[in-house]
Amino acid sequence: MTAMDSKLAIDGGAAARSKPLPPNYPGASVIGAEEAERAARVLQAQSPFRYYGIDMQHAVRTLEEMMSAELGIPYALGVTSCTAALVVALKALGIGYGDKVIVPANTFLATPGAVVASHAVPVFADVDDSLNLDPDDLERVLDDEVKAIIAVPILGNPVDMDPIMAFAKRHGLRVIEDVAQSCGATYKGRYAGTIGDIGVFSFQMNKILTAGEGGAVVTSDPLLFERAVRYHDQGLFREQARYGIASPEEEHAFLGQNYRMSELTGAVLVEQWKKLGDIVSRMRANCAAIREAVAAGLPGLKFRRSADPAGDIGSNLGMVLPSAAQAGRFIEALNAENITAHLLYGGRPVYMMPQLFRQRTAERSGFPFDYPFRRPVVYREDMCPRAVDLMARTVYMPVSPLLDSRDAGEIADGIVKVGRSLGL
């Protein structure tokens, strides 16, 4: 690099990249004729509903079968969103008013929001240097009112599930994996989402695969699956024969909601699902190339730890800066180089979102926070100090599957240039 090249774009130098990176929508950016044709077939067949129609295409069923086969799990259910999937999962587990659910401090508002929508109350466990749930902090928030743990692999990086499953087993807790951001990630060779009692996926625009909206629930347990199907379909259990689950109606029936996936969504997702392997291998290769070059150029830079680096889908490169102030300067300078980089959720734990921090719900009484818990649920800013510290100084750079080796080289050069000038 010449002296000329080393002047930062933010100081008037030439940008490392002449144009911005492609927008970070991995699945959406590979939508093509396949999705359009399969969705058109659903419309041409005049059959957009999954359970009956004029000339049924069975798109949602096909998606469920593809997910089940690839993930290696017996049961998959398409639903309208991951928020819906979380509610369905919690209801399948029988969780509700008077129950607490452990949620990591680093997650999207939807995770604790779905707990509240299920009439339970979230309690927050801290993260470790993987920025995912810290298994060693579970004990701190455990009491006999806690019924489940939601593990959330943040931005493609798998959660350390073994100690979480061991803890859950020891204390009779259920485990949900919220894999919304990490479709395709693995942990010790198993797909994220298939390790806990229930896994939930998102197919919203911002996620790895998308139909704009959509979600899925997966499990190995036939009873949990039956309860999930019932809750997502008004308490009904249609197509029982398909699953080989014989359910005496009077025994297992209860009222549900409507979280059914449309055939149009299913059609798009069948084609998206076929592209998952390719998307993930491209992101992994791009992320590895960038990381390697950055590590060589900035030997002092710390990367976000992974509990299983081989299982990370490479959708984001996480860099942990020495301070929040340096993270802010790093982001500003990278953006000027046309390299997208940001903190996640404004760099603050999810429980600091005012609606959650103040325990505000749509109900007049503050339900379900009004339950007379034996150990009251109180939120304080400092209850998860590592999340407060690390989230404010962990910079994520999204890695698109569309990058070529030249893009990866320019990105790495830009990061190294900015890092050196900041003395990292």
Ligand X SMILES: *Cc1c(COP(=O)(O)O)cnc(C)c1O
Shortest Å distance, C-beta 248 to ligand X: 33
Tell me: does residue 82 bind ligand X (CB under 6 A): yes
- Contacts of residue 263, Cβ cutoff 8 Å, sequence gap at least 6: 42, 47, 48, 49, 50, 53, 57, 59, 60
Give the end-to-end CA distance of the chain in Å, rounded to a whole number.
17
Shortest Å distance, C-beta 89 to ligand X: 11
Among 126, 178, 226, 410, indicate the residue that binds ligand X (CB under 6 A). 178
Q: With contacts defined by CB under 6 A, name the span among 140-148, 175-183, 318-326, 353-361 that binds ligand X.
A: 175-183
Shortest Å distance, C-beta 1 to ligand X: 37
Q: In the structure encoding, which two tokens stand for residue 219, read together? A: 């499990």
Site size for ligand X, by CB under 6 A?
Answer: 14
Burial class of residue 152, CB neighbours in 10 A (0-12, 13-18, 19+): buried
Instruction: Please say which residue, 180 or 390, places its beta carbon nearer to ligand X.
Output: 180
Name the helix (H) or strand (E) containing 123: strand 121-125
Q: With contacts defined by CB under 6 A, name the span among 39-47, 76-84, 132-140, 378-386 that binds ligand X.
A: 76-84
Q: With contacts defined by CB under 6 A, name the span among 35-43, 81-89, 273-281, 365-373 that binds ligand X.
A: 81-89
Tell me: does residue 132 bind ligand X (CB under 6 A): no
Q: Which residues pair with 177 in a beta bridge?
A: 151, 199
Instruction: Judge whether 207 counts as a catalytic residue.
Output: yes
Tell me: does residue 208 bind ligand X (CB under 6 A): no
CA atoms within 13 A on the CB side of 318: 25
Tell me: does residue 111 bind ligand X (CB under 6 A): yes
List helix spans (H) across 26-146.
Answer: 33-44, 59-71, 82-92, 110-117, 138-141
The Cα angle at residue 214 between residues 400 and 27, in degrees rounded to 5: 15
Tell me: does residue 151 bind ligand X (CB under 6 A): no
Tell me: does residue 264 bind ligand X (CB under 6 A): no
DSSP 308-340: -GGG---SEEEEE-SSHHHHHHHHHHHHHTT--
Shortest Å distance, C-beta 123 to ligand X: 17
Tell me: does residue 180 bind ligand X (CB under 6 A): yes
Instruction: Please say which residue, 88 or 224, places its beta carbon nearer to ligand X.
Output: 88
Among 47, 62, 204, 262, indicate the residue that binds ligand X (CB under 6 A). 204
Strand 215-219 versus strand 186-187 pairing type: unpaired
Among residues 100, 147, 207, 417, the one annotated as catalytic is 207
Tell me: does residue 83 bind ligand X (CB under 6 A): yes
Give residue 315's identity as a one-letter amino acid code.
Answer: S
Instruction: Please say which residue, 57 or 157, places its beta carbon nearer to ligand X.
Output: 157
Strands (E) in 161-291, as ranges, are 174-178, 186-187, 190-191, 198-202, 215-219
Shortest Å distance, C-beta 27 to ligand X: 12
Among 202, 219, 315, 400, indicate the residue that binds ligand X (CB under 6 A). 202
Secondary structure (3-state) at 74: coil
Short-list 411, 396, 402, 405, CA closest to 27: 402
Tell me: does residue 182 bind ligand X (CB under 6 A): no
Q: Which residue has the tokens 């750079």?
A: 397
Tell me: does residue 81 bind ligand X (CB under 6 A): yes
Q: Report the catalytic residues.
A: 207
**Residue numbers at the binding site for ligand X (CB under 6 A):** 81-83, 107-108, 110-111, 152, 178, 180-181, 202, 204, 215
